[in-house]
Amino acid sequence: MEPRFVYLVRVDVAHAREPLLNEVYDTDHIPTLLRVPGVLRVSRYRTAAASEPRYQTMYELTKPEVLESKEWQAAVDVGRWAPEVRPHILNRHLVMYQSDQGDYDFSYTTPALHCEFLDVEGERDEHFRQVCAGTIPLLKQVPGVQRVGLFVAVRDGKPSRLIISEMQREDVVMSDDWRRATKDGRWLDDIEPWIHNWHKVMYTRAPSFKR
C-alpha cells in the first residue's frame, strides 16, 4: 500500500478570537486548501488538555512536497485567514508524518481521536517498531477502537513518532481492556524506559471537510 502523509498543524488562538478561527477555518481556509492538488482530506479536532495546543488540523497529502507547491503557497494566504486569524495564532506546532505500520485508511470521522506523540532513543528504534507490530493488533481488539496506526516524522520532525487511534468514545482509554493492551510486558520492559517527550492527547472531532 502506498504510504500516507499527514501534515499536523497544532495551534492555540487568543480566546476572544476562537469563534472567528472556527468560522474562517470551516467556511474559507479549509475549502481553499482542499482545492490544492495533492490535498486529499482535511479534518479538525479540539482537546481539553491544558498542556497541549487546543486545536489540531490534519491534512492528508499525497506527498510532502505539496507544501512546497506554488498552489499551496498561494492558498495559505488567500481569503480571511492571513489578515484576520493568523495574527492571533499562538503556540504553533507543525510536523509532517508518514504512515509506517497498522492502519493507513483512517476515516478521520470518529467522535474521538487519541494521539501519542513520542521520541525513542535511536538504538531502540527498530525494536520499538517490532513491539508496535505486536501491540497495535491488541489495541484494535479493544471495544470502541476503530483503527490504529504508527506514523514516523518526515525530515527530522519532532516528536519523531505518532500513534493514532480512532475511537468511538473518549472514555475508551479508561477501560480495563485498553489498560491491558497498553501494559503488555514487552512494551513496559523493553520500550517505556527509552521513550521521552511523550504526550498522550485525546481529541474530539470538530467540523471537517473532505474531498
154 grid coordinates? 518526515
Q: What pLDDT was estimated at residue 73?
A: 95
Look at the chain and report how many structural domains it folds into.
1
Structure confidence by residue, pLDDT tens digits, 21-68:
999 999 999 999 999 999 999 999 999 999 999 999 999 999 999 999
CATH code assigned at 60: 3.30.70.100
Q: Where do we find the cell 490544492?
A: 36
> What pTM does this model have?
0.92
Distance CA 142, CA 72 (A): 39
Over residues 141-191, the pLDDT tens digits come to 999 999 999 999 998 889 999 999 999 999 999 999 999 888 876 776 778
For 147, the domain range is 5-210
Torsion on CA atoms 44, 46, 117, 3, rounded to nearest 10: -10
Specify the length of the chain in residues.
211
Neighbours of 110 (CB within 10 A): 19
Alpha carbons 156 and 129: distance in angstroms, whole number: 17
Longest CA–CA separation in the chain, Å: 52
The answer on pLDDT for 210 being more than 70 is no
